Structure 1
Amino acid sequence: MAASWSGTGSDHGYDQVEERSYEYDPINIDSLRETAAALAKRATGWTMFRVPQLMFKVNPLAYTPQFVSIGPFHRHREPSFMHRNADLQAMEGHKQVFMLRLLERTRAPNTTFQECKNAVDQVIEVLVDDHYTEMDISSELLSSIILVDACFLLEVFLKHSGITNNRMNCSVDEVMLDIEYRNIFASSGLRRDLALLENQIPFFVLERLFIVIRHNIAMPTNIEGFSLPEIAFALFKSDFNCHQEFFRRGTANEHPHYRHLLDLISNYAHPTSRHPDLPPHPPMFQLSPIVHMRNAKKLSEAGIRFEKAGKSMLLDMEFCNGVFRIPPLVINECTESLLSNLMAFEHSSCNPEDAANSHEYFASYLFLMERLVSHKEDLDIMESKGIIINQMGGREDAYKIFYNISQNFVLKNFYFAELCSRIEAQCESRKHRYLLELRKKHLKNPWTTLSVVGGTILLIFTAIQTIYTVLSYSQR
């Protein structure tokens, strides 16, 4: 299940990737223990994960950076890939300029640079041993890559969040840099690539450097009112149609230990409340029961009403009194890649020994949406209710996006099973079907409705008159 970031994985189709060759030494108890220890370290969840091969084959482009490479994987393991991609090459220079801009936010850039370098060097052994265990890369090179990329990310977050300060040291043309900023931030490729599973660096490194920058930043500044998770997730809140209160859920003291930026995005997008009927300890290795779910058109024909959920996160669906409330989803050029990588990370980081916390939220969401939106008519319904905001050029691409992502995936813990069961029970209930039939046949338009109401009133008055006649006759 979990595919670690290691030389033992498949090459994902890149011709130039050198696979690690195994030489089988004589097996003894010590070698078995070493192998077990290595696998145990990989299973702790801190290894930088690889996209499972089965998912990667469906759509390699969804997991491959096109605009910016973060971390050592694509640069060190696949140098030819970097040379083939002019955009990735060009961004290497921009990243260093962003790093310079970050350092020039501080009172003494040279001192701040050395403190940032020391902050990375102090944890380089942890990075090599726990995060990049099987990558053949020197500590010096890894430290340099992580330092530049972490500073680049911090400047992106600060600039996007509108954090300002007095720049005491400016060595480059401000006007030209502002143009570069606008061009880079206008590109959806930046946001897309920063959320790729194989394009990450450990989040704790970002935290260490953020502390250094905040301590050295030139005054006056408004940085004190922000936490790193908040300004990092703010870059992606438009992808989740997210409101202010949701991306302010974490504080500097309350947020969990995120593995990397994609883990942060995943955590913030999780349901805000747990379904009460979901079992607290789902059994391990048990496939979800087959759940029947009609598409949006058939549900509408069965009398189920769709509504856009209010201030809710993507996974906060609910069904009450015949109304299915679904949070809005923006479908743009980043959506398929973002959801694919969230599902790949969820799949790779799943710990079978901790089934209670191994929920397949995004896989469940895609499984459900793939069934709800299976035809253009379903997309029409969802768009008319404001549930799907389609920013794609082609409508066929929009409604097929859920199918494209969820191919070749076996769902073991369907989060929305109870919700789907209640919707199906409502559709099949005798009372609901009777009322639905009444509306279809006799209440289709105002005139037939008035006729039915008038006939019903006349029938009631006739019945009352009959009762009075019988009563008066019996009293004689």
Structure 2
Amino acid sequence: MVAVFNKELLSWYLITVKLNQAVESGIQNAQTPTASTSRSIDLPESSSAREIQPSNTDTLQIPIKEDESAQEPDAGQVKPVESEWVISIKDKLQQADQEDGAGSWAKVSIYRIPQCLREGDDNKAYIPQTVSLGPYHHGRKRLRNMDRHKWRALHHILKRTNQKIELYLDAVKELEDRARACYEGQVHHNSNEFVEMMVLDACFVLELLRGAAGGFTHLGYSRNDPIFAMRGSMHSIQRDMIMLENQIPLFILERLFAIQAGGPSDQVGWPAGSQTGVVARLALRFFDPLMPTDEPLSKSDRSKLESSIGTTFDPLTEQGGLHCLEVFRRSLLAIRAGPKPTPRVWIKKWSHTNRVADKRRQQLIHCVTELKDSGIKFKRRRTDRIWDIKFKNGILKIPRLLIHDGTKSLFLNLIAYEQCHLDCTNDITSYVIFMDNLIDSPADVSYLHYCGIIENWLGSDAEVADMFNRLCQEVVFDINDSSLSRLSEQVNRYYEHRWNAWRASLKHRYFNTPWTIISFFAAVVLLWLTLAQTFYSVYGYYKPH
């Protein structure tokens, strides 16, 4: 068969074959370590840019650039592409390194309640029910109703002092980084939102503190005001303001109060420049209804307490990241504790075996019923310091304790703060565990109430016993680190002495009423006479007259 081809078509066919061969050879060379940098094929010369004249002899060199992968190293040195999963892990590690390297853990003083303490029915004691302060509960739906009253408080302050809002915003802006460091974890608010929240919440708190001390009418509020008046809602606000997660740094309150005191129409009366410790004293007056005792302070103790707080809570010091809960706690312990508490050391070689983290081993002393049966008496100690418990000559003297609907939340937040903050003692935790050991049943509560030690405003004795038995669940506590450990040892030694138990049993059985006392002495006299008669009868038999 004879095939006749067009010369031009044949030339294009040859060009296509050459191109295909060049591409295949380029790919093969890219997969080998010894690949050249360029290739060339023979093509017919082109007489112009648009037309190629085929020729059998003349060829055209067309350079072909190799693939970039041909320049990569051999397979043993190729770096694999990182997946999105590995990249996300590296980002998290980098963020952890930044948080750990920042060194801000030592500045935290407003903590989130640990999840182990939230278990059970006590979660409500840590969450505010009326007003939110700070970033932890900011924006909660059921707490938004209080925001309009916060804006009213800020408006009253600006109107009363004739100041501009920029003065407050700039002051808090300077303290923003220091305020953020007081909160645990990352605060998910930008700079403007955080400063606005701090100014609004701090001014609201200051109005409450000043109104409770000098009267809200002097601050320009109506006597029928729904919030800024001493009415039923104030008790709920006081309980919310004492919660650990609902705090404002004290140096923020001090700074804004100093700005207000410099205004032309200050109503409270403190001169500008002497505001150090004033907010702390106002806070003590505001939270006085939550005090767990109603014993009045003497003049010497009152002056000692105020002077201690005035020197301790200085917003210009490095320890200024405190709050109202810490003020309240130090007011309970100020007369006993020094201005700088001794930090706790958790790891000690000589007390590692005595470290207690088990509820069943946190037994300091026995319950009231058992101690009473062993001959220990209970009396009320007249002092405002609830931790000041004394034991001498078999008499355990305990200060009076008021139990109301806010006592549970108060103790839980104080215990949580002592559990989280290592730069404070565990005196409140020691006291609560001591009372928890004393109270095991409603009968124990009833006897302490009979002795005047417990004033129950909560309800039945069973509710008080249940409250104390639930307060210290999941609490890590070291018996050797307790401030009441030595007193507990004295009570236990007295309890374990058998003669004291026998004497108490004798008194309980034969000397509990006047008739049993008379019967006992009559029996003793009768026994003595019987013995005397027997003696003389025997004596007369052997030695008659």
Distance in 2, matches of 1:70 and 1:264, equals 16
Q: CA deviation at 1:35?
A: 4.8
Superposed counterparts of 1:410-421, under 5 Å: 410-412=476-478, 413-421=481-489
In terms of mean alpha carbon deviation, does 262-271 or 127-136 score higher? 127-136
Quick one: structure 1 residues 223 and 393, their matched pair in 2 at CA, closer, same or farther if it must change by over 3 Å? farther
What letter corresponds to residue 316 of structure 1 in structure 2?
A: D
Q: CA deviation at 1:280?
A: 10
Q: CA deviation at 1:130?
A: 5.4
Distance in 2, matches of 1:27 and 1:102, equals 44
Q: CA deviation at 1:360?
A: 2.0
Answer yes or no: is the 8 Å Cα contact 2:213–2:282 preserved in 1. Answer: yes
Distance in 1, matches of 2:408 and 2:310, equals 33
Which of 359, 372, 385 is the aligned partner of 1:313?
385
Q: Corresponding residue for 2:129?
A: 66
Distance in 2, matches of 1:274 and 1:202, equals 22
Answer yes or no: is the 8 Å Cα contact 2:403–2:458 preserved in 1. Answer: yes
Q: Corresponding residue for 1:48?
A: 110
Quick one: structure 1 residues 265 and 418, their matched pair in 2 at CA, closer, same or farther if it must change by over 3 Å? same
Answer yes or no: is the 8 Å Cα contact 1:271–1:313 preserved in 2. Answer: no
Unaligned runs of 5+ in 1: 1-21, 352-357, 467-476
Q: Corresponding residue for 1:250?
A: 306
Q: Corresponding residue for 2:410?
A: 338
Superposed counterparts of 1:10-29, under 5 Å: 23-25=88-90
Distance in 2, matches of 1:453 and 1:197, equals 61
Q: CA deviation at 1:174?
A: 2.5
Report SS of the residue matched to 2:378: strand
Larger RCO (CA within 8 A; separation ≥ 6) = 1
Q: Deviations over 1:4-53 (max 9, x none)?
A: xxxxxxxxxxxxxxxxxx9322899x988645324x421x1435311111
Q: Corresponding residue for 2:458?
A: 392
Distance in 2, matches of 1:391 and 1:24, equals 55
Distance in 2, matches of 1:203 and 1:213, equals 15
Which of 180, 194, 210 is the aligned partner of 1:128?
180
Q: CA deviation at 1:298?
A: 1.9
Which of 343, 366, 370 is the aligned partner of 1:298?
370
Answer yes or no: is the 8 Å Cα contact 2:214–2:268 preserved in 1. Answer: no
Q: Corresponding residue for 2:469?
A: 403
Answer yes or no: is the 8 Å Cα contact 1:442–1:452 preserved in 2. Answer: yes
Quick one: structure 1 residues 235 and 364, their matched pair in 2 at CA, closer, same or farther if it must change by over 3 Å? same
Distance in 2, matches of 1:174 and 1:164, equals 8
Q: CA deviation at 1:196?
A: 1.1
Quick one: structure 1 residues 138 and 64, their matched pair in 2 at CA, closer, same or farther if it must change by over 3 Å? same
Q: Deviations over 1:95-143 (max 9, x none)?
A: 222333344443x2x34x4433332122113223554662221111101
Report SS of the residue matched to 2:312: coil
Superposed counterparts of 1:103-118, under 5 Å: 103-106=158-161, 108=162, 110-111=163-164, 113-118=165-170
Q: CA deviation at 1:67?
A: 0.6
Q: Corresponding residue for 1:95?
A: 150
Distance in 1, matches of 2:178 and 2:133, equals 19
What letter corresponds to residue 118 of structure 2 in structure 1?
A: F
Distance in 2, matches of 1:244 and 1:101, equals 34
Q: Corresponding residue for 1:207?
A: 254
Answer yes or no: is the 8 Å Cα contact 1:200–1:260 preserved in 2. Answer: yes
Answer yes or no: is the 8 Å Cα contact 1:271–1:316 preserved in 2. Answer: no
Q: Deviations over 1:324-350 (max 9, x none)?
A: 122222222211111111111111112
Answer yes or no: is the 8 Å Cα contact 1:45–1:349 preserved in 2. Answer: no
Quick one: structure 1 residues 99 and 284, their matched pair in 2 at CA, closer, same or farther if it must change by over 3 Å? same
In terms of mean alpha carbon deviation, does 139-148 or 216-225 score higher? 216-225
Distance in 2, matches of 1:140 and 1:175, equals 34
Quick one: structure 1 residues 302 and 198, their matched pair in 2 at CA, closer, same or farther if it must change by over 3 Å? same
Identity %: 22
Q: CA deviation at 1:254?
A: 1.3
Higher gyration radius (CA): 2
Distance in 2, matches of 1:26 and 1:73, equals 25
Q: CA deviation at 1:415?
A: 2.8
Q: TM-score, normalised by structure 2?
A: 0.67
Distance in 1, matches of 2:343 and 2:119, equals 34
What letter corresponds to residue 439 of structure 1 in structure 2?
A: K
Answer yes or no: is the 8 Å Cα contact 2:217–2:223 preserved in 1. Answer: no
What letter corresponds to residue 142 of structure 1 in structure 2?
A: F
Q: Corresponding residue for 2:419?
A: 347
Quick one: structure 1 residues 405 and 25, their matched pair in 2 at CA, closer, same or farther if it must change by over 3 Å? same
Q: CA deviation at 1:321?
A: 2.0
Q: Does structure 1 residue 429 correspond to structure 2 residue 487?
A: no
**What is the root-mean-square deviation in Å for CA atoms of aligned residues?**
3.6
Quick one: structure 1 residues 292 and 164, their matched pair in 2 at CA, closer, same or farther if it must change by over 3 Å? closer
Distance in 1, matches of 2:129 and 2:343, equals 40
What letter corresponds to residue 334 of structure 1 in structure 2?
A: G
Q: TM-score, normalised by structure 1?
A: 0.76
Distance in 2, matches of 1:95 and 1:191, equals 15
Q: Deviations over 1:382-402 (max 9, x none)?
A: 212222221123443222111
What letter corresponds to residue 174 of structure 1 in structure 2?
A: S
Quick one: structure 1 residues 73 and 274, their matched pair in 2 at CA, closer, same or farther if it must change by over 3 Å? closer
Answer yes or no: is the 8 Å Cα contact 1:65–1:193 preserved in 2. Answer: yes
Answer yes or no: is the 8 Å Cα contact 1:262–1:342 preserved in 2. Answer: yes
Quick one: structure 1 residues 451 and 327, their matched pair in 2 at CA, closer, same or farther if it must change by over 3 Å? same
Distance in 2, matches of 1:373 and 1:410, equals 20
Q: CA deviation at 1:165?
A: 9.0
Q: Corresponding residue for 1:370?
A: 436
Quick one: structure 1 residues 318 and 181, their matched pair in 2 at CA, closer, same or farther if it must change by over 3 Å? same
Q: Deviations over 1:59-104 (max 9, x none)?
A: 21111111100012212xxx4xx12x2xx12111112223333444
Q: CA deviation at 1:406?
A: 1.2
Q: Corresponding residue for 2:67?
A: none
How many residue pairs were aligned? 414
Q: Corresponding residue for 1:236?
A: 287
Answer yes or no: is the 8 Å Cα contact 2:368–2:438 preserved in 1. Answer: yes
Superposed counterparts of 1:78-89, under 5 Å: 79=139, 82-83=140-141, 85=142, 88-89=143-144
In terms of mean alpha carbon deviation, does 96-105 or 55-64 score higher? 96-105
Q: Corresponding residue for 1:154?
A: 206
Answer yes or no: is the 8 Å Cα contact 1:102–1:154 preserved in 2. Answer: no
Q: CA deviation at 1:184?
A: 5.3
Distance in 2, matches of 1:32 and 1:280, equals 27
Unaligned runs of 5+ in 2: 1-86, 314-319, 536-545
Superposed counterparts of 1:428-467, under 5 Å: 428-450=496-518
